Amino acid sequence: MKDIILKAENISKQYRLGEVGTGTLKHDFNRWWHQIRGKENPYLKIGDTNDRSTKGNSDYVWALQDINFEVERGEVLGIIGKNGAGKSTLLKILSKVTAPTTGSIKSRGRIASLLEVGTGFNGEMTGRENIFLNGAILGMTKKEITSKLDEIIEFSGCGRYIDTPVKRYSSGMTVRLAFAVAAFLEPEILVVDEVLAVGDAEFQKKAIGKMQDISRGEGRTVLFVSHNLAAVKQLCTRGIVLEHGLIKFEGGIDEALDVYNSNLDDLVTEAAWSIDKAPGNLNAKITSVKLMSEDQRFLIENEISVEVEYVNLLENQKINCSISIFDDQNNYVLASPNLERRFLEKGRYKSTCIVPKDFLNKGKYYFTVILVGNNFEIIAQLDKIVSVDLDEEGIHRKDYFGYWGGIVRPYLKWENNKVEL
Amino acid sequence: MDFKNTEDWLFEITPKNRFFSLNFKEIWQYRDLLMLFVKRDIITVYKQTVLGPLWYLIQPLFTSITFTIIFNNVAGIKTGSVPPFLFNLAGIMVWNYFTACLNGTSDTFKSNAGIFGKVYFPRIITPLSIVISNLVKFGIQFFIFVIFYIFFYFQGVDLGLNPTILFFPILIAFMGILGLGLGMLVSSMVTKYRDLNNLVTFGIQLLMYVSAVMYPMELIKEKLPRLGWIVQYNPLAYVIETSRYMLLNIGNISVLGLVYTMTVTLVVFFIGLLVFNRTEKSFIDTV
């Protein structure tokens, strides 16, 4: 028998786009007029699915549509999806900040949310006063807080400043204190959104450890939303992938992450043209550029191959490809021209460049492809034609989850030896 | 107890609140939060100010002095046996409590959007805390009133204590409830229509002139018989007139007026609560 602690049934949420002005009053009146005649809300019928990039043709948009899921007691459910997929809306509904437009959520336990910690802190009040205030906002009684006060202060590591107004705290300290308060909440269901995005590496590790304790040790249910996929993978047992307000996938966390990874649509891993529209000149044309990886999972631990297909329209000319990689800050990461040039016959060719594994860092990279002719003249230049958002398996991280900077992230060899004096 | 396969849920999140729902049990659970909000409101007002809580006194004192000069000395409004300054102070004190409650609660949703957008707690805790913390402010002002009362008494002014003063706290409670009710109503509507904020700011100013703050209610009936009904239909005027009757033993007490005031107060409060309840579930989408 499954022990369902939380059940969402047909949750939908509609938002109105645009500014609130005279149109709203008219809509409000119209809605009211339908309501008193016992008719359905006229504005619930219209509305498009939530897709930022294409312009819808109505003022209303569905941030979530027909969301159904169940959560078992003690489960850690990861909710993943791109920006605007509806994750935050779902969490807001779960934490009762806003009501769903239709549907209902049934729960057998108290839900406490930990959305962007530090809300409700008052800068004028001391750390200690804020622990009480924030604890009470999150639903604790004064008695509960008093009994855990020492543990909270200890966990936050802010003991020295506990009687100083919070406005003098660094942002990191504020986050530590806020997380500490929330970590000692005792709800049956804890909703966590992006807390790990802040704080230093040591604290992030502490926070993840605490969340593991909460779920595994104390058997409480956690709903976790984060862009830190390594942390999601580490913590969650099951995952839901949201896309345009719909559940795209629900199941094991590994599969969920795969679905998420293969599905980044503002990034293009493939571009192809028919021969008459292909970029190039009368000598040669590029017909397709593709990024390939093992199972199309773009991870920094996988090799990435850039496949360029082109047609040579002349007999015996030297042509070759060159690729350049840029990061999302438009830093020029590298260029790799293929300088082994041979005379080519007429026909179709494919050149593949392999970017080694454990080389690029996590994040977005854009690939520029150039086709070069006989005298090193440019036949076709396709700027940032394909792109990829690299993720990581995290196998080299061991138990470190923090920031790992750098434009590239090669896995370098280390030697550690004991030095005899 | 086996509730694994029954429909025995602890709670349910649904699109709309029931038509009227005030979950007293939940508010009681959050009583510590209410008190902490009150404490926060009081502490933070005078942090980093030189005069601190003295600001609570300066404003009514100077307003009373100004009113005394303009309305009593220049315009010549008579206040009977009571010194005009004490007359004005009593009126301003009660009036201030009302405006502080209304002003404070009327932007509940807007000024707390940040925190309301992140965590759930019964939203009514916020306006409730404002009404209570203003009660503390009112207490300080009442204290200064008592000091002046004693001062004038020893100056030999004939100040009679009225036994109905025992009901004064109830009167103030109704003033608070009226401010809370109106504030909740306004704050709910402001989330959609910001225009209301401007209306409240200058509406309060105008309302003071028809609330018998700086003149006895009798006077307006006598001087402006055709416009007197505005004051007579204003529940606030009865509260202020009655509190002067209780504190200074002047003017009249109108039982009919008080019944009318209390009815209006309760009606406004329940409408406010109703609208507030409807708004709290989805205001975050429109604010």
This complex has an ipTM of 0.79
Tell me whether residues A133 and B121 touch, CB distance under 8 A: no
Structural contact between residues B53 and A162, judged by C-beta atoms closer than 8 angstroms: no
What is the Cα–Cα distance from A259 to A252, expressed in whole angstroms? 11
Measured between CA atoms, how close is B3 to chain A, in angstroms?
A: 9
Q: Say which residue the tokens 């292909």 belong to.
A: A278
Beta strands in chain B (DSSP E): 11-13
Mean pLDDT of chain A: 82
Q: Does B119 touch chain A (CB under 8 A)?
A: yes
* pLDDT value of residue A54: 47
Chain A CA closest to residue B117: A97
Dihedral sign computed on CA atoms, order B150, B156, B159, B163: positive
> Nearest Cβ partner of A124 from B4, B44, B116?
B44
**Is pLDDT above 70 for A137?**
yes
* Total residues belonging to chain B: 287
Interface size between A and B, measured as CB pairs under 8 A:
111
**By percentage, how much of chain A surpasses pLDDT 70?**
85
DSSP-derived secondary structure letter, A107? E
CB atoms near residue A344 (< 10 Å):
17
Residue of B nearest to A134 (CA): B33
Please indicate whether, in this complex, the C-beta atoms of B32 and A136 are within 8 angstroms of each other. yes
A89, A282 contact by CB (below 8 A): no
Contacts of A122 in chain B (CB under 8 A): 40, 44
Q: Which residue of B has its CA nearest to A144?
A: B32
CB contact under 8 A, A120 and B119: yes
B16 closest CB neighbour out of A99, A129, A139: A99
Among the listed residues B14, B23, B21, the one whose alpha carbon sits nearest the alpha carbon of residue A105: B14
Per-residue pLDDT of chain B (287 residues; tens, 9 = 90+): 344 445 677 777 777 655 556 677 888 888 899 999 998 888 877 776 777 777 788 888 898 889 888 888 888 887 777 888 888 898 999 999 999 999 888 888 888 887 887 788 888 899 999 999 999 989 989 999 999 988 888 887 777 777 888 888 998 999 999 999 999 999 888 877 777 888 888 888 888 888 888 888 888 877 777 877 888 888 888 899 888 888 888 877 888 888 999 999 999 999 998 888 888 776 777 65
Q: What is the pLDDT of residue B287?
A: 56
Contact A104 B9 (CB under 8 A): no
Judge whether B195 is closer than 8 Å to chain A, CB to CB. Answer: no
Contact B192 A101 (CB under 8 A): no
Residue A29, burial from CB neighbour count under 10 angstroms (0-12, 13-18, 19+):
exposed
Which pLDDT score is estimated for A210? Answer: 77
**How far from B129 is each of A327, A410, B106, CA to CA, in Å?**
51, 57, 13
Pairing of strands A221-225, A76-81: parallel
A234, A262, A240, A253: which is closest to A81 by C-alpha? A240
Q: Which residue has the higher pLDDT, A64 or A38?
A: A64
- The number of angstroms, rounded, from the C-alpha of B247 to the middle of its chain's C-alpha atoms is 18
Question: Hey, CA dihedral for B17, B20, B25, B31, is it positive or negative?
Answer: positive
Residue A240 pairs with which residues in a beta bridge? A79, A250
What tokens appear for A311 in the block? 């047609």
| Mean pLDDT confidence for A10-15 | 86
Residue carrying structure tokens 């196998």: A395
**Torsions phi, psi for A80 (to 5 deg):** -125, 160
Pairing of strands A347-355, A102-107: unpaired
Could you tell me if B6 lies within 8 Å of chain A, comparing CB atoms? no
Measured distance CA(B124)–CA(B143) in Å, rounded: 29
Question: Which region among A44-58, A274-288, A314-328, B78-92 has the lowest average model confidence (pLDDT)?
Answer: A44-58
Contacts of B117 in chain A (CB under 8 A): 92, 97
Summarize pLDDT for A374-384 with one digit per residue, the tens.
888 888 888 88
Nearest C-alpha of chain B: how many angstroms from A403?
26
Of B30, B33, B284, the CB nearest to A98: B284
CB-CB under 8 Å, A96 with B13:
yes
Residue among B5, B118, B192 minimizing CB distance to A1: B5
Given an 8 Å threshold on Cβ–Cβ distance, is A1 in contact with B3? no
Would you say A135 and A144 are in contact if contact means Cβ atoms under 8 Å apart? yes
What pLDDT is recorded for position A371? 92
What is the spatial order of strands in the sheet that A347-355 belongs to? A270-272, A284-293, A304-312, A347-355
Identity at B61, one-letter amino acid code: L
Query: Rounded to an integer, what is the distance from CA A28 to the centroid of its chain?
Result: 36
Neighboring chain B residues of A98 at a CB cutoff of 8 Å: 281-282, 284-285
Burial level of A8, CB count in 10 A (0-12/13-18/19+)?
buried
Which amino acid appears at position A383 of this protein? D
Tell me the chain A residues in contact with residue B193 when contact means C-beta distances shorter than 8 Å: 25
d(CA B261, CA B264): 5
Asked if A98's CB is within 8 angstroms of B40's CB, the reply is no
Domain boundaries, chain B: 24-285
pLDDT for residue A356: 93
- Contact between residue A327 and residue A338 where contact means Cβ atoms under 8 Å apart: no
Interchain proximity B36–A16, CB inside 8 Å: no
Nearest-CA residue of chain B relative to A111?
Answer: B120
- Give Cβ neighbours of residue B204 (< 8 Å, ≥ 6 apart): B99, B102, B103
Pairing of strands A238-243, A76-81: parallel
pLDDT digits (tens, 9 = 90+) for A141-159: 888 899 989 988 988 888 8
Instruction: State the helix-helix crossing angle for B31-46 and A127-137, rounded to 10 degrees.
Output: 140
- CA-CA-CA-CA torsion sign (A109, A110, A116, A117): negative
DSSP calls for B143-155: HHHHHHHHHHHHT
Tokens of A155: 């966990």
Task: Please check whether residue A326 is in contact with residue A366, taking contact to mean a CB–CB distance below 8 angstroms.
Answer: yes
User: How many of the other CB atoms lie within 10 Å of CB of A384?
Assistant: 15
- Of the candidates A287, A295, A216, A307, the one whose C-alpha atom is nearest the C-alpha of residue A257 is A295
Residues of chain B neighbouring A20 (CB-CB closer than 8 A): 192, 286
Are A289 and A382 in contact, with CB atoms under 8 Å apart? Answer: yes
How do residues A195-235 score in pLDDT, each as one tens digit?
555 556 677 677 777 777 877 777 788 888 876 677 788 88
Taking Cα atoms as reference points, which of A367, A386, A394, A398 lies closest to residue A299? A394
Predicted pLDDT at A160: 85
In 3D space, the residue among B209, B208, B182 whose CA is nearest the CA of residue B196 turns out to be B182
Q: What was the pLDDT predicted at A53?
A: 45
| φ, ψ of residue B266 in degrees (nearest 5) | -65, -40
- For A84, the token pair is 């605007």
Cβ–Cβ under 8 Å, residues B274 and B124: no
Residue B172 Cα, gap to closest chain A Cα (Å): 28
Q: How far is B178 from B101, CA to CA, in rounded Å? A: 9
Q: How far is CA B48 from CA A165, A210, A248, B133, in A?
A: 12, 38, 53, 19
Phi/psi for A135 (5° steps) reads -60, -40
Coil vs helix vs strand at A263: coil
Residue in A60, A101, A119, A137 to test binding to B, most B beta-carbons within 10 Å: A137
Q: Whose structure tokens read 């409408």?
A: B271
Mean pLDDT along residues A4-30: 74
CB atoms B118 and A97 under 8 Å: yes
Residue A274 burial by Cβ neighbours in a 10 Å radius (0-12, 13-18, 19+): exposed
Query: Which of B32, B284, B285 minimises the CB distance to A142?
Result: B32
Question: What's the pLDDT score for residue A417?
Answer: 92
Q: Do B14 and A142 touch (CB under 8 A)?
A: no
- Residue A321's pLDDT is 94
Instruction: Tell me: pLDDT of A21 over 60.
Output: no
Q: Note whether B116 contacts A97, CB cutoff 8 Å.
A: yes
DSSP A7-70: EEEEEEEEEE-S--SHHHHHHHHHHHHHHHTTPPPGGGT--EE--SSSPPSSSEEEEEEEEEEE
Best A64, A90, A98 residue to mutate vs chain B (most B CBs within 10 Å): A98
Among the partner residues A3, A133, A141, nearest to B40 by beta-carbon distance: A133
User: B13 touching A, CB under 8 A?
Assistant: yes
B281–A99 C-beta distance less than 8 A:
yes
